């Protein structure tokens, strides 16, 4: 057990999917895993371990924002030996070609700040995905007939953003979508020699104002989970 994860030794798999919402973790575990067992409910941040095609998988909620994800990713890596961590979550589209329900596979993640910023000081570290995972995720998506967007995303510190000028610059420089966690996940994976990837579903759009309903989000997110699982064990 750790401060934030109540799982016993051996209850966390080496492959961990990390949605922000703990109830999305519950839905994904019940939908895609066999013999899913609740292994964590500390502070309501649900985590489940089961099997997918014979492979052990943990699906653990991370909460919203980089500080929250940093807590769970640190403990999963350092205390439970997680080797592969894949964020599965929603994002806001920032380019006209990125449509609602589209998949975005994040190659890099731009950010103003992360919990790791104090380590780098004056260095502008560039967090990036594990290439093997990224390549496998693209292949899995294409095999399913999907055409994912692959490129840079923006991990924001805030949900209620009051910097339209910053969003304009992100869009101007080709950033595909905005979310709140991937940059810190990629940084921690690099620090500890682990594999990490973020696979995102566009749930709303900063330019058009479109947004999925809660029911539409659940139906649209299934493909993302399956691609993450296929990529992890490719």
Residues in the chain: 234
Residues comprising the binding site for a purine D-ribonucleoside? 4, 179-181, 203-204
Residue-wise burial string across 96-127, b where 16 or more C-beta atoms lie within 10 A, e elsewhere = eebebbbbbbbbbbbbeebbbbeeeeeeeeeb
Residues 52, 35: Cα–Cα separation, whole Å? 9
The C-alpha atoms of residue 83 and residue 163 are separated, in whole angstroms, by 36
Active site residue 79: no
* Strand bridging mode 195-205 / 84-93: parallel
Residue ranges of the binding site for phosphate:
20, 24, 43, 87-90
Q: Select which of 102, 147, 204, 216 is catalytic.
A: 204
Integer Cα distance of 151 and 98 in angstroms? 11
Residue ranges of the annotated binding site are 4, 20, 24, 43, 87-90, 179-181, 203-204
List the catalytic residues: 204
């Amino acid at each position: 057990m750790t401060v934030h994860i109540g799982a016993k030794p051996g209850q966390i798999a080496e492959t961990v999917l990390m949605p922000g919402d703990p109830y999305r973790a519950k839905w994904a575990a019940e939908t895609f895993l066999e013999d899913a067992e609740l292994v964590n409910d500390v502070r309501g941040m649900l985590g489940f371990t089961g099997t997918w095609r014979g492979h052990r998988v943990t699906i653990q909620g991370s909460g919203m924002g980089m500080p929250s994800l940093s807590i769970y990713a640190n403990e999963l890596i350092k205390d439970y030996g997680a080797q592969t961590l894949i964020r599965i979550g929603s994002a806001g589209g920032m380019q006209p070609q990125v449509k609602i329900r589209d998949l975005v596979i994040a190659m890099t993640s731009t950010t103003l700040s992360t919990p790791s910023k104090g380590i780098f000081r004056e260095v502008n570290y560039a967090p990036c995905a594990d290439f093997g995972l990224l390549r496998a995720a693209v292949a899995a998506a294409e095999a399913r007939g999907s055409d994912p967007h692959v490129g840079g995303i923006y991990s924001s510190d805030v949900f209620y953003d009051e910097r339209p000028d910053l969003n304009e610059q992100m869009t101007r420089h080709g950033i595909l979508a905005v979310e709140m966690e991937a940059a810190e996940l990629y940084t921690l994976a690099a620090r500890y020699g682990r594999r990490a990837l973020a696979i995102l579903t566009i749930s709303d759009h900063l330019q058009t104002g479109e947004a999925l309903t809660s029911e539409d989000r659940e139906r649209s997110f299934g493909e993302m989970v399956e691609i993450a699982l296929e990529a992890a064990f490719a």
